[in-house]
């Protein structure tokens, strides 16, 4: 059982209002805040290098924590300053040849689709969007039909940012593996919300952020690189962390996933990320998943009973991300009006989507976390 009152007491932000934006940047637990603050204090008092030396063991420990969180090995984890940078290091590290095909889904994240278009222009990569199935998830039948020897990469997300659905990522993994394609999973919205296991999913590469459901600091993220995939990628840029300079004409890459890192970083941020991973694991990801999905379902049911509100989420399985529209109120108006009542939700808006074209209809996005209470959901419904 979850001790919700205890968890909320350890979350300073819970006293400030109703925060329903775990999909944007969740409220961190006090231990994350204190880990970072203590390290910044130490840096100010003894100097940044000296503080990093003093934190060395805990800093190395962050790789163990992140690895355990997703069922990987510590040498398969690279720290990054964001999930986007982590994803970029993997994607831009794939040595594409002209004509290589990349398969993605209609709900892919905009930064990733822009990178696909970039690779199409620069390297002649062919990007193909696998259609959705009847539930709005990536169609496994269509994916199977599209997979052949020319497919270099399958790149999708686990949980999109603008829709409550959860993609069938393990089934995608089996199909990608059978076809010999690399599989890059954007797990930004699932790590910290769902029990994520890279072994079960079968992805070669996975990117995640610190600040969303993991409740870590902003400006942190990480990349998982399966050991067997390490040699298939060439990091798009290298520094003295990623490689050793060994002679006038030579360098040697690090032997682990940290070849995708750069040397400089926020040490406080990395320690805070490690603390967030440990905090989530102490609660238990299975327990977290169950509670978040239940609260998401509760919110959708309550919204569906409001006469002028339409829930927009698709998917056979749904996450803690809940999106909706109102018959005659703009999302921005709803968000502003709720904020006056200290209920914090967001507008989910994109400039283009594969499935809806230019200027897709904006929605309100309310994303719950395990620290959300049934009472907070009632407050949102009453305010609406």
Ligand X SMILES: *Cc1c(COP(=O)(O)O)cnc(C)c1O
Closest distance of CB 137 from ligand X, Å: 14
Closest distance of CB 230 from ligand X, Å: 22
Contact map string, positions 94 to 123, toward ligand X, x by CB under 6 A: ---------------x--------------
Does 21 sit near ligand X (CB under 6 A)? no
Does 161 sit near ligand X (CB under 6 A)? yes
Task: Considering the complex, state which of residue 206 and residue 302 has its C-beta at the smaller distance from ligand X.
Answer: 206
Whole-number Å distance between alpha carbons of 328 and 299: 20
Number of H helices and E strands in the chain, helices first, is: 15, 17
| DSSP bridge partners of 247 | 250
Q: Read off the DSSP letter of residue 138.
A: B
Confirm if 281 and 101 have CB atoms less than 8 A apart.
no
Task: Considering the complex, state which of residue 42 and residue 223 has its C-beta at the smaller distance from ligand X.
Answer: 223
Closest distance of CB 156 from ligand X, Å: 10
Among 30-38, 129-137, 182-190, 327-335, which window interacts with ligand X (CB under 6 A)?
182-190
Task: Considering the complex, state which of residue 112 and residue 372 has its C-beta at the smaller distance from ligand X.
Answer: 112
Closest by CA to 35, choosing from 276, 283, 284, is: 276
Does 83 sit near ligand X (CB under 6 A)? yes
DSSP letters spanning 184-231:
EEE-TTTBTTB---HHHHT-SEEEEESSSTT---TT-EEEEE-HHHHT
Does 189 sit near ligand X (CB under 6 A)? yes
Closest distance of CB 87 from ligand X, Å: 7
Single residue of 35, 105, 157, 348 touching ligand X by CB under 6 A: 157
Between residue 312 and residue 371, which ones bind ligand X under the rule CB under 6 A?
none
Task: Considering the complex, state which of residue 189 and residue 323 has its C-beta at the smaller distance from ligand X.
Answer: 189
Among 46-54, 183-191, 251-259, 276-284, which window interacts with ligand X (CB under 6 A)?
183-191
Q: What sign has the CA pseudo-torsion 3, 188, 277, 26?
A: negative
Produce one character per residue of 149-170: b if its CB has 16 or more CB atoms within 10 Å, e if not. eebbbbbbbbbbbbbbbbbbbe
Among 77-85, 176-184, 270-278, 299-307, which window interacts with ligand X (CB under 6 A)?
77-85
- How far is residue 322 CA from its own chain's centroid? 16
194: which 2 tokens?
């769902």
Whole-number Å distance between alpha carbons of 350 and 71: 33
Closest by CA to 55, choosing from 258, 269, 220, is: 269
Confirm if 261 and 242 have CB atoms less than 8 A apart.
yes
Does 188 sit near ligand X (CB under 6 A)? yes
Number of residues that bind ligand X (CB under 6 A): 12
Closest distance of CB 328 from ligand X, Å: 29
Task: Considering the complex, state which of residue 228 and residue 351 has its C-beta at the smaller distance from ligand X.
Answer: 351
Task: State the residues that interact with ligand X by CB under 6 A.
Answer: 82-84, 109, 157, 160-161, 186, 188-189, 209, 221
């Amino acid at each position: 059982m979850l001790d919700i009152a205890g968890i909320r007491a350890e979350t300073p932000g819970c006293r400030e209002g109703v925060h329903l934006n775990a999909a944007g940047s969740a409220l961190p637990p006090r231990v994350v805040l204190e880990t970072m603050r203590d390290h910044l204090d130490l840096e100010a008092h003894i100097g940044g290098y000296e503080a990093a030396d003093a934190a060395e063991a805990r800093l190395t420990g962050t790789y163990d924590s992140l690895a355990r969180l997703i069922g990987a090995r510590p040498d398969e984890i690279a720290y990054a300053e964001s999930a986007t940078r982590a994803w970029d290091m993997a994607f831009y590290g794939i040595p594409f040849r002209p004509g290589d095909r990349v398969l993605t889904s209609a709900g892919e994240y905009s930064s990733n689709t822009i990178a696909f278009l970039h690779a199409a222009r620069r390297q002649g990569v062919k990007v193909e969007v696998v259609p959705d199935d009847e539930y709005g998830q990536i169609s496994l039948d269509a994916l199977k039909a599209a997979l052949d020897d020319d497919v270099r990469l399958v790149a999708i997300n686990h949980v999109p940012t603008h829709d409550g659905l959860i993609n069938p990522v393990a089934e995608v993994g089996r199909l990608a593996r059978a076809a010999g394609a690399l599989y890059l999973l954007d797990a930004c919205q699932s790590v910290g919300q769902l029990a994520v296991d890279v072994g079960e999913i079968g992805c070669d590469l996975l990117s995640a952020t610190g600040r969303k459901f993991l409740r870590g600091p902003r400006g942190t993220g990480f990349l998982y690189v399966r050991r067997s995939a390490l040699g298939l990628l060439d990091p798009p840029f290298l520094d003295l962390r990623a490689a050793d300079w060994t002679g006038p004409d030579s360098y040697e890459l690090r032997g682990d996933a940290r070849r995708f890192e750069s040397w400089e970083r926020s040490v406080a941020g990395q320690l805070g990320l490690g603390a967030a991973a440990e905090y989530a694991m102490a609660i238990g990801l299975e327990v977290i998943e169950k509670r978040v999905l239940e609260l998401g379902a509760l919110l959708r049911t309550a919204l569906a009973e409001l006469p002028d509100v339409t829930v927009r989420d698709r998917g056979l399985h749904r996450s803690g991300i809940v999106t909706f529209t109102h018959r005659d109120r703009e999302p921005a108006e709803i968000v502003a009006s709720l904020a006056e009542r200290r209920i914090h939700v967001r507008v989910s808006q994109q400039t283009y989507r594969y499935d809806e074209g230019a200027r897709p209809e904006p929605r309100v996005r309310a994303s719950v976390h395990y620290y959300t209470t049934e009472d907070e959901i009632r407050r949102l419904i009453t305010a609406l």
